[in-house]
Amino acid sequence: MPLALYDTWSRTVRPFTPIHANRVGMYCCGPTVYDHAHIGNLRTYVFEDILRRVLMHNGYEVRHVVNITDVGHLTSDADEGEDKMEKGSRRTGESAWSIARRYTEAFVADWRALHLLEPALWCRATDHLAEQIAFIGDLERNGYAYRTSDGLYFDTSKQDDYGFLARLNRAGLQAGKRVAVGEKRSSTDFALWKFSPTDVARQMEWDSPWGRGFPGWHIECSAMSAKYLGTWFDIHCGGEDHVAVHHSNEIAQTQAAHGTRLANFWMHGHFLTFDADTKMSKSSGDFIRLQTLQSRSIDPVAYRYLCLTAHYRSKLRFSWTSLEAAQTALNRLRHLYAGWPEGGRIDHAFAARFDAEVNDDLNLPRALAVLWELSRSDLSPANLRATVDRFDDVLGLRLSEWRPATSNIPENIQILLSEREQARSEKNWAMADHIRETLSKYGWRVEDNKEGQHLIKVHEPSDDSR
């Protein structure tokens, strides 16, 4: 079954065909690096990773570009409020540049812990000022920009179909006029360039033909995607909140400067929301990080598994119970897989069923059901492994790399164990017995079997699931 994807622009699931044979350009709006990413943000990146893997599974070469927003994202989408980076700097006393660096590193660490494939390119907004200024210059020359006392704005009234992606009713918005417009000509107009305030010094600011200041948030994505993927590329992604403002504005800018609506497919991941039955306080409920899970001994990959259990176009209600269930399912799968030998063949009937599900607009919940059905089938263990390996190219659980963890074994015990292994290999049985006794004093029992030494915690049942 050929790949079909839901396109927010047309509001339909339609067959995917690349603009250039076999090559796919994909741009994903990345993090604003003033704080850690929360697991809601990360759900969106897991969805995008699955999309990329499914494209690769279909034989496409994917050029995946992710931006890092390190300037210009204001606390309010109406171009008011503070720059999130500068605000973060005031909160922590650290420079905005250093905050950006630190949270970018933290983000990349989360990215890797979730087994997200490395993008072809990470691009920082602050490394692309020249491109953004040039893009704004084009908009101004084409008659789409006007000046107010605090910046240069995009005039959305110049486009009849402004906001089509979100099916915005601009006439209705104007009539209602609930949003304060200030000096803007209409509420949907947005900043292309903001002037530095005169009363407070900014850390991130640049010279431009319009005055000293900083770029608006939306222009970075139009300018960087144009630079790295061209002004008409295959897929643009983000979270569902981007439809109404950020992506509508990216489209408006690119249409005004280059006459295209930027991407052939617009795809959006739906939100992670919080379950009413959790006992989390509101603040922690609002902001769970990957590290929060790790501190509760939950593997980041279990969170990835949880994301796979819901379709990307439905809300996923988070609860610790569902996350623990995901961890249990993942553990079971890892243990099953570890027992299957290499050297088998892919079962084509199961593979075809799996492919049909993932090609049906990334139906991962159904694809997982095929996987579990496969695991209970009467295929030989080696063929199970070969087939699951193929599925795992899409799932990204990296089952073949997993080993039962020894991290719950203290370091001194691990050292004793390796010394005993050494003694055994030298057939020094007296020493091996001596170390066995020492281990038992620490509360660990060691048994020897065909595979080697097997360690058991005497007082608590051992849990080798982590």
Window 161-180: residues binding ligand AMP (CB under 6 A): none
- CB of 161: closest distance to ligand AMP in angstroms? 23
Residue 271 contacts ligand AMP per CB under 6 A:
yes
Pick from 29, 267, 333, 397 the residue near Zn ion by CB under 5 A: 29
Residue 241 contacts ligand AMP per CB under 6 A:
yes
Residue 263 contacts Zn ion per CB under 5 A:
no
The stretch among 3-11, 75-83, 233-241, 357-365 that binds ligand AMP (CB under 6 A) is 233-241
Residues 251-270, mask of contacts with ligand AMP (x by CB under 6 A): ------------------x-
Residue 396 contacts ligand AMP per CB under 6 A:
no
Choice between 121 and 409, CB closer to ligand AMP: 121
**# binding residues, ligand AMP (CB under 6 A):** 15
**Contact by Cβ (8 Å): 326, 303:** yes
Residue 119 contacts ligand AMP per CB under 6 A:
no
The sheet carrying 213-215 orders its strands as 145-147, 151-154, 190-195, 213-215
The dihedrals phi and psi of 445, each to the nearest 5 degrees, come to -110, 135
Residue 251 contacts Zn ion per CB under 5 A:
no
Choice between 123 and 435, CB closer to ligand AMP: 123
Pick from 43, 52, 53, 304 the residue near ligand AMP by CB under 6 A: 43
Choice between 111 and 350, CB closer to ligand AMP: 111
**Contact by Cβ (8 Å): 70, 126:** yes
The stretch among 16-24, 168-176, 215-223, 252-260 that binds Zn ion (CB under 5 A) is 215-223
Choice between 44 and 264, CB closer to ligand AMP: 44
Window 14-33: residues binding ligand AMP (CB under 6 A): 29, 31-32
- CB of 221: closest distance to Zn ion in angstroms? 3
- What does 44 interact with, of ligand AMP, Zn ion, none (CB < 5 to 8 A by kind)? ligand AMP
CA distance 102 to 96: 10
Residue 330 contacts Zn ion per CB under 5 A:
no
- What does 221 interact with, of ligand AMP, Zn ion, none (CB < 5 to 8 A by kind)? Zn ion
The stretch among 213-221, 283-291, 432-440, 447-455 that binds Zn ion (CB under 5 A) is 213-221
SS3 per-residue string spanning the chain: CCCEEEECCCCEEEECCCCECCEEEEEECCCECCCCCCHHHHHHHHHHHHHHHHHHHCCCEEEEEEEEECCCCECCCCCCCCEHHHHHHHHHCCCHHHHHHHHHHHHHHHHHHCCCCCCCEEEEHHHCHHHHHHHHHHHHHCCCEEECCCEEEECHHHCCCCCHHHCCCHHHHHHHCCCCCCCCCCCCCEEEEEECCCCCCCCCCECCCCCCEEECHHHHHHHHHHHHHCCEEEEEEEEHHHHHHHHHHHHHHHHHHHCCCEEEEEEEECCEEECCCCCCCHHHHHCCCHHHHHHCCCCHHHHHHHHHCCCCCCCEEECHHHHHHHHHHHHHHHHHHHCCCCCCCCCHHHHHHHHHHHHECCCHHHHHHHHHHHHCCCCCHHHHHHHHHHHHHHHCCCHHHCCCCCCCCCHHHHHHHHHHHHHHHCCCHHHHHHHHHHHHHCCEEEEEECCEEEEEECCCCCCCCC
- CB of 249: closest distance to ligand AMP in angstroms? 14
Residue 221 contacts Zn ion per CB under 5 A:
yes
Residue 41 contacts ligand AMP per CB under 6 A:
yes
- CB of 185: closest distance to Zn ion in angstroms? 24
Choice between 46 and 219, CB closer to Zn ion: 219
Window 60-79: residues binding ligand AMP (CB under 6 A): 69
- What does 43 interact with, of ligand AMP, Zn ion, none (CB < 5 to 8 A by kind)? ligand AMP
Q: Which residues bind Zn ion (CB under 5 A)?
A: 29, 221
Q: Which residues bind ligand AMP (CB under 6 A)?
A: 29, 31-32, 40-41, 43-44, 69, 238-239, 241-242, 269, 271-272
